[in-house]
């Protein structure tokens, strides 16, 4: 069988529209811009991982990546393998793992920084995107690429917001109006929670009923003003202690 060049794989997927989910009945796949990004940014021999399985797995395979694809349904894996064989994509470097990502990722990746590129597109209910992000990013190389799919889903959005704020992540592109492509530029330094940019709007009192919330907000604002005044004008601190 002729081998399909990776440059042709995305177009073939778009033309064939294979179904890999719900036993071959559902199309829950990455969109064209995301598939093209994988094709253009994953090199032969790269170490890659994704939570979720589908058209993206076919593209990772076509790039020659040493790829790990994690999803709980072995039927999805079988359908991807069958499609790869049908169109001439070598899937021998793809390891399919049947299981939940929160169970599989810690044992599969560990803490060694070996991952060149990753795609988070598994379970989209809270807290699975956050859990996937945690285990994947602690195994990524500096300079590694991370794709975060379905950012508009509220359970995914906090991951995007955190990455945008942290200095060790660079947002490279937003693909298909739903997928964020990041580069990890450095290993994150351990931070106390007040130092994290994600927490800079502390306190978030939205969980408190409105009358009580207003009083608490006023109290926090007053405390901040006093601290800032004391920092700028040490003499005020001394007077306050008398």
**Is domain 6-195 in CATH 3.40.50.300, yes or no?**
no
Q: What is the mean pLDDT of the chain?
A: 92
The pLDDT tens digits of the residues spanning 127-147 come to 999 999 999 999 999 999 999
Domains of the chain: which residue ranges? 6-195, 203-241
The pLDDT tens digits of the residues spanning 181-194 come to 999 999 988 778 88
- Size of the chain in residues: 242
Q: For the CA atoms of the chain, what is the radius of gyration?
A: 23
pLDDT at 236: 57
Q: How many CB atoms lie within 10 A of CB 106?
A: 15
3-class secondary-structure state, position 70: strand
Judge whether residue 48 has pLDDT over 80.
yes
């Amino acid at each position: 069988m002729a081998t399909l060049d990776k440059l042709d794989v995305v177009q073939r997927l778009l033309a064939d529209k294979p179904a890999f989910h719900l036993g071959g009945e559902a199309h829950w796949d990455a969109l064209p811009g995301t598939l093209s990004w994988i094709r253009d940014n994953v090199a032969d021999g790269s170490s890659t991982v994704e939570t979720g399985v589908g058209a993206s797995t076919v593209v990772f395979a076509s790039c020659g990546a040493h790829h790990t694809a994690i999803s709980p349904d072995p039927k999805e894996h079988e359908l991807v393998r069958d499609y790869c064989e049908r169109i001439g994509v070598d899937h021998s470097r793809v390891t399919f793992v049947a299981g939940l990502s929160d169970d599989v990722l810690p044992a599969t990746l560990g803490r060694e920084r070996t991952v060149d590129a990753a795609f988070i597109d598994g379970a989209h209910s809270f807290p699975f995107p956050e859990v996937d992000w945690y285990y994947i990013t602690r195994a990524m190389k500096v300079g590694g690429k991370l794709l975060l799919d379905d950012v508009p889903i509220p359970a995914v959005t906090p991951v995007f917001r955190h990455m945008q704020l942290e200095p060790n992540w660079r947002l490279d592109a937003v693909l298909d109006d739903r997928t964020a492509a990041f580069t990890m530029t450095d290993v994150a330094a351990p931070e106390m929670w007040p130092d994290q940019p994600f927490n800079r709007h502390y306190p978030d009192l939205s969980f408190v009923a409105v009358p009580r919330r207003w009083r608490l907000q006023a109290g926090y604002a007053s405390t901040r003003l006093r601290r800032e005044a004391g920092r700028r004008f040490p003499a005020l601190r001394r007077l306050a202690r008398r």
